Structures are given as structure tokens and as C-alpha cells.
Structure 1
């Protein structure tokens, strides 16, 4: 009799406390990962309204180049062996609502929609009217992405590198929690026409690297949805977990009592 009771109690405990193993826990587990990763191609960022660009103009003639750098008067260092000054701080330029930056001497220069290389070439071409062999360097100052949902450290994240893919972005947020659905990651991106688009990313597929959404753009938003188990848990009685713990403790105690009476 005691053996039957113990077996019955154990069966109840297993039924109540066991759960189905979580699937799709591994990134890029579907398809041939090595072949797909080799196809990844980075096309560079497009400058957007609200971007803050750090721009530095260099040339052999330090005197002639001064008017083209807002911060030239602040710090000027010694020249290197090529004669190009390396210690002038880059100046900040905000891309306004119309897509222009207000550049010294040159006036309004359209930048929206260009890559940094294209804007660099455009500025150098304009500056050749005033300087000999001008060199322009451009860096995006405010590259931010927001990662929300089932990640360990949600929030707006700043990246030092502008070339960042979706996995690196998740790394900035400490990666997904165990409850994150790797097949249902939402990316919210502002298009060139100003409207937002929402796409679903399945990070368990290796061919994600071929997607135009594999590399992040400034101001992108990633939202990691909770898996079905987490959704059920969130919508159920908040005391459910505590109830299971109590039932488990009672069953364990009952099993122990029956065993001691044998």
C-alpha cells in the first residue's frame, strides 16, 4: 500500500512540475551557418535627419585650412612628417530637418541620404576651390540603437562602431533572457520617407545575414518578444508559481512521512 501511495505522489509531482524543453535556443542553427555568414555584406550607413557629424578638414597649409574647421582656434598641435595637422578637434554639424549641414564658407551642404564616403568626396571636391589636396574625415557621433523586451539590460545603447549587426546589438543589451523568442524579434526602422517600418527577424536562421536588416542603422529599435511560456505565465494567476512550490513541498513531506512509516 505504501509503495502505491509513494508512486502516486511522485507521479503527481512530476506532472505538475515538469515542463516542455524550450526550443530554438541557438542562434543561426538553421541552414548552413558558415556559408551564409560568408555572404554578409555591409553597405554603410545613410546619413539621416538629426545625425550629428564630426567633420575635420586637413590640408598642407594650416593657415588656409583654419576657416573650414570651427574648432581650429582651440587646439593646434605639431605637424607630422606629411605636414598634415593631426591635433585639431573635429567640429560638430547637425543634419537639419531639410537634410542640410551648415558648413563654414561653403554654406548649406545637403547630406541626408548620403553615405559618409559620398559626403566626404562631395566636400573635398568643393574645398579644392580653396585648398590644395584637402582631406576630409567624417564620423557619426550619435549612433544609438534601442533594445527592448526580453533582454538582460534593455534601453538605448550607444555603439562606438557604426558597423554593428543585430547580434552585436543584442550583445550591448547583455543578450536575450531565456524567455526571449529568437524567432520573433521585431525591428522598427525609420525609412527615407520618414515612415516607420516593422519587420520580423528569425535569428535562428543563418540566412539572416543576407537580410537588409542584418546590419543596424542609427535609431533602430529592436524588440525581443517573450516566448509562449512567458506570455502564459504573465497572463496567469500571479500566485501560480507559489502554489506549485507549496504543492511540491507538501508532496515531498508526504512522501517522506510514508517512507518513514514503512
Structure 2
């Protein structure tokens, strides 16, 4: 009788332990609402608009190289593979950049102050080209504008967190996740946040990666400069971060359970 009672108690404890260890696992698949062969619309691609403290390069070319060089900043050299105090191992040439001041202006050669804040790369290029032509400075200018220091950060449950640079328009949240090495197994697919500065106010956007429709139409699907992408940890990671680690996935839990079972067995077989 005692053996049967002990067996029943043992079975109950093991069952509870197994149920605890098999807590429903969140589905880790992305885009669960996509159907093969069915096209999904996305929001309009976002072009980056320049802000104060952004840095951009502007290069002017024309048939008259000497004339166009009057409107270009000098080429500068940077060290490659050498830190302070080490010998120079190589040089990389790079166009100098314009840092947008607090008023949204840059000081462009010959032309003077040019307001660029709130404009896209294409709009800046068109504006400068129009100015050069209308002021009879260059007849056939080709103006190229590139980003220099624009970037975003990816934090939380990703394999390679850090800061990444924006080198083109239309970079998306998926680009950011790919650059950060994808989410870890502990990252909540339905709880990815994009923190964005909007006129001095930090605005959080929550995006569910398991729903393509929700993700595509989120205002934060296309990234802007200085965005912070944060991936929230799931409950498994939260349990791993307990003070003593005493959860169903830890060694200490199973040692405690074994000790309890031994004690029960001894008591019932006395």
C-alpha cells in the first residue's frame, strides 16, 4: 500500500515538473500571416531627411574639372589598420563632409549658406544644382550627395548588438535585424521596439515580426537616423536571469526535486 502511495506521489511530482519544464514555447517563426503566392503591400518607402548635426558629403562634377573643384571640399587621408602611436600602415582617401549646424544650414563653397535641414539627398542635390546654374557658376553641374555619419543602434536579444550606419535611403527594420545577426532564440518576435526622436520627444513603436501585415505598415518599418531598435527578451531569458537561477531548466532545480523525492521515499518506507 505504501509503495503504491509513494508511486502515486512520485508520478504527480514528475508530472508537475514536466509540465513546468514544457511551458508553452512562443512560436519563433516570422511573418506567420504570409501566404505563398499572395502579394503583400507595404507602406511607401521612406527617404531620410537631413537634420541638424548630420554629416553629408556633396561632390560637384562637370566637364570643366577645374571649375567644379572650386565647389568641392578637399580630399583627406585616414589611417587604415593603425591606432594612435602605431606606424602608418596605409591611407584611405575620403571626401570631407559638411556638418549641418543648429539652424539646419551648411556653408557651401562660393555659394555660402545653404539650408538643407528637412530635405532628402535628392532634394539637396537638386537645390544646389539649381543654384549653381541660376547664378551662372556652372552650366552643367552633376551634384552627388551621400550620408556620412547617419546611423541607428540595435540592442537586446540579437546576436550582434551595436551601432550600424545608414548608407542609403529606404533601410528597413529587417535590414537592421539582418545587420545585427538576427534575433537570438530568446528574443520576443512579437515585441520589437523602435525608439525614435520626434521633435525632441522619444516615441516608442512596437512591432510584431510574426505579422508581416502589421510590420509593413508600421511607421517605424523604414528606419531614420538615430533610431534605437530594441528586442525584448522572452520569459525563458527572464527565468535565466533570476538571482539564484533556481528554475525548471537549472541544475539546482533538479537536485532539489531529487532530494524531495528521496525524502518522500524514505518516509513512506519506514
TM > 0.5 fold call: yes
Equivalent in 104, 128, 135 of residue 142 of structure 2: 135
Describe the SS at the equivalent of 2:97: strand
Deviation, 1:8, is 5.8
Q: Which residue of 2 aligns with 1:125?
A: 130
Return the alpha-carbon distance in structure 2 between the equivalents of residues 95 and 34 of structure 1.
46
Paired with 1:152 and 1:66, the residues of 2 have a C-alpha distance of 45
Q: What TM-score do the two structures reach when normalised by structure 2?
A: 0.76
Shift of 1:196: 2.0
Deviations 1:153-196 (A, max 9, x none): 222223444432112201221211222111111111112x2322
Moved more, 149-158 or 100-109: 149-158
Change (3 A) 1:68 1:138: same
Which has the bigger relative contact order, CA under 8 A and spacing at least 6? 1
Tell me, in whole angstroms, the C-alpha distance in 2 between the residues paired with 1:11 and 1:44: 60
Partner of 2:105: 100
Which residue of 2 is the match for residue 43 of structure 1? 46
2:255 is aligned with 1:246: yes
Figure out how many residues of one structure are paired with residues of the other and give that number.
239
Q: 1:112: Cα distance to partner?
A: 0.9
Q: Secondary structure at the match of 1:68?
A: coil
Tell me how large the CA RMSD over aligned residues is: 3.0
Q: For residues 193-208 of structure 1, what are the structure 2 equivalents within 5 Å?
A: 193-207=199-213, 208=215
Q: 1:125 to 1:176 in 2, by over 3 A?
A: same
Residues 48 and 95, structure 1, Cα contact 8 Å, conserved in 2: yes
Query: Is residue 165–residue 216 contact of structure 1 (8 Å, CA) maintained in 2?
Result: yes
Which position in structure 2 is the counterpart of 1:217? 224
**CA distance 1:102–1:172, change in 2 (3 Å):** same
